[in-house]
Structure 1
Amino acid sequence: MGITSSNKEINSSQIRCGGTFRVTLALSAAPDISENPTDIVLVLDRSGSMAGSPLANLKLGANTFIDIIDESTDSTQDGQIGLGSRIAIVSFSGSATANTQLITSVSDLKSAVNSLSAGGATNHADAFSTAMSLFDPSSSNARVIVMFTDGKTTAGIPPAPIAEAIRDSGVVIYCIGLIGDNGIDVDSLNDWATDPDTSHVVFTPDESELEELFADLAANISKPGATNIVIDETLNPSFTILNVSIPSTGTATTIDSHSLQWKIPSLGVSGNEGASLEFYVQHTGKTSGTLPVNQSISYTDDEGNLVTFPDPTIQVDCGTVVNPEPCPVPIDFTIGSCQDSLIVDLGDTCLESSGRIVQLNITLKNVCPKKRVALGIILSETDSYGQEYPRGMKTITVPAHSLTGCQDVEIQCIKFILPEDLTPSENSCRSLCHERNLKARIIAHYIDTDFQCCDSTVTF
Structure 2
Amino acid sequence: MKFSTIRPATIEGNIQVLRDLNKWYDGHLSAGFRKSYGFYMPPASGFSPAIKLEVSSPSGWDLVLVDRHGLDQAGFVSFAIPGGRALAVGGLTPGPYFVIVSGPGGAYRLRFEGFPDVFKPATVVSVIDVSGSMGGTKLAAAKSACNDFIDMMNTGDKIGIVGFSTSASVPYPLTQIGDPASTIKNAAKSKVNALSAGGSTAMGLGIRAGNNELKRFPSDRNRVMIVMTDGEENVTPYAAEVIDGDPVANDIQIFMIGFGVSASTMSNLRLLAEKRNGQAYAAPTTQDLRDVYFKIIGAGMKEPIAGLAGTINPGGQVTQSFHVDASTASLSADLSYPGSDLDLILTDPDGNEIPRQTDDAAGIEFMNRPTSETYLIKMPTPGTWRATVVGVDVPSEDYPFNLYAFAQSQVETKLTVAPGPHAGRTPVDIVVEIDDGAPVSGVSVIAEVTPPEDSGAGPFIVGLEELEPGLYVAAFDTTRWGGDYAVDAEVEGRSNLGFWFSRSPSASFNVIAPPNFEPVAVAGPNQTVYAHGDGLARVILDGSGSYDPDDDPLEYTWSCITDSTLIQTTGVSPEMTLPSGEHIISLVVNDGIEDSEPNEVHITVVPPLQCRRLLLWPKTIHLGLRRNPVIAGFLRLPGDIRAADVRPKTATCLPAPLAGRREWLFGRWCLAVFFVNEAAFCNNTQQVMFEVQLNSGHFVYGTEAVRVRRWGK
TM over 0.5: no
TM-score (norm 1): 0.38
TM-score (norm 2): 0.25
Which structure carries more strand by proportion? 2
Q: Which has the higher contact order (CA 8 A, sep 6+)?
A: 1
